[in-house]
């Protein structure tokens, strides 16, 4: 079983590429790795409200869920992001009743995070998922969490890997045509600029290229 990695919520930002979508950014606790997760508008609003400590005049769905659970003495012990498949994160909620019995239920990751923030419950993932989806920046250089050595692609500092917020990507080549190393440099540039919504899109392209290179188009189930 993979070691558990504790995560904290960095925040939510709008996704200018996909209308109505937002990016939830999770960070490794006391570590450099980050995980971007694309979520819907309603879930983003719920997470942002809880993250900022805002109390709406009437409870929204996640508030109601927490109030209902607490009324019967049920506590959320942990949120586990246990699987990543075809760009989708899967999560489990572990609850405990007053007698100490535990129940594990499946959940959308956005809902799980919204509830965890409200209850102050730990959020964890596996080392395997962190290696597959996380990224770090060291001295301005992006390193995928599962990298042990640089890719053998083009290593020059060509403009094709440089992102300019005012112009976007150069018309040629498109990000889909970048080498793995060029995508890594592009992603590093976006993260440095805190452009997480575009970083999430580039991260998905990069992950697909890595799976294609390894000859495995889908990640195995955890």
144 and 198 share one domain? yes
Say if 221 falls within a structural domain.
Answer: no
86 and 185 share one domain? no
72 and 93 share one domain? yes
Domain that holds residue 189: 135-214
Structural domain ending residue among the three candidates 78, 105, 130: 130
Among 6-15, 19-28, 121-130, 181-190, which is the least confidently predicted range?
Answer: 181-190
CATH number reported for the structural domain that contains residue 21 in this entry? 3.10.690.10
pLDDT tens for 211-221 read 877 765 443 33
pLDDT tier at 52, thresholds 50, 70, 90: confident
Structural domain ending residue among the three candidates 130, 161, 196: 130
User: Quick one: pLDDT at residue 20?
Assistant: 67
> Does the pTM exceed 0.75?
no
pLDDT tens for 61-83 read 999 999 999 999 999 999 999 99
140 and 117 share one domain? no
181 and 123 share one domain? no
User: Quick one: pLDDT at residue 62?
Assistant: 95
| DSSP-assigned letters across all residues of the chain | -PPEEEEEEEEEEE-SSSTTEEEEEEEETTSS-EEEEEEEHHHHHHHHHHHTT---SS--HHHHHHHHHHHTT-EEEEEEEEEEETTEEEEEEEEE-TT--EEEEEEEHHHHHHHHHHHT--EEEEHHHHHHH-EEEETTEEEETT-SS--SS--S--GGG--BTTTBS-SSS-GGGS-HHHHHHHHHHHHHTT-HHHHHHHHHHHHHHHHHHHT-SSPPP-
């Amino acid at each position: 079983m993979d070691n558990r990695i504790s995560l904290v919520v960095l925040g939510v930002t709008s996704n200018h590429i996909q209308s109505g979508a937002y990016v939830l950014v999770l960070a490794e606790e006391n570590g450099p790795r980050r995980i971007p997760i694309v979520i819907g508008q309603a879930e983003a609003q719920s997470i942002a409200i809880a993250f900022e400590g805002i109390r709406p005049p009437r409870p929204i769905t996640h508030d109601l869920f927490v109030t209902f659970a607490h009324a019967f003495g049920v506590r959320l012990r942990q949120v586990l992001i246990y699987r990543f498949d075809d760009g989708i994160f899967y999560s489990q909620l572990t609850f405990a009743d007053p007698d100490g019995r535990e129940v594990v239920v499946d959940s959308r990751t956005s809902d799980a995070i919204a509830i965890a923030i409200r209850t102050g419950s730990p959020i964890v993932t596996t080392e395997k998922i962190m290696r597959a989806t996380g990224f770090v920046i060291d001295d301005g250089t992006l390193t995928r969490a599962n990298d042990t050595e640089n890719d053998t692609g083009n290593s020059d500092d060509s403009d094709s890997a440089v992102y300019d917020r005012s112009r976007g990507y150069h018309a040629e080549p498109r990000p889909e045509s970048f080498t793995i190393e060029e995508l890594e440099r592009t992603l590093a540039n976006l993260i440095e600029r805190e452009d997480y919504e575009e970083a999430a899109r580039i991260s998905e392209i990069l992950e697909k290229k890595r799976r294609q290179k390894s000859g495995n188009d889908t990640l195995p189930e955890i």
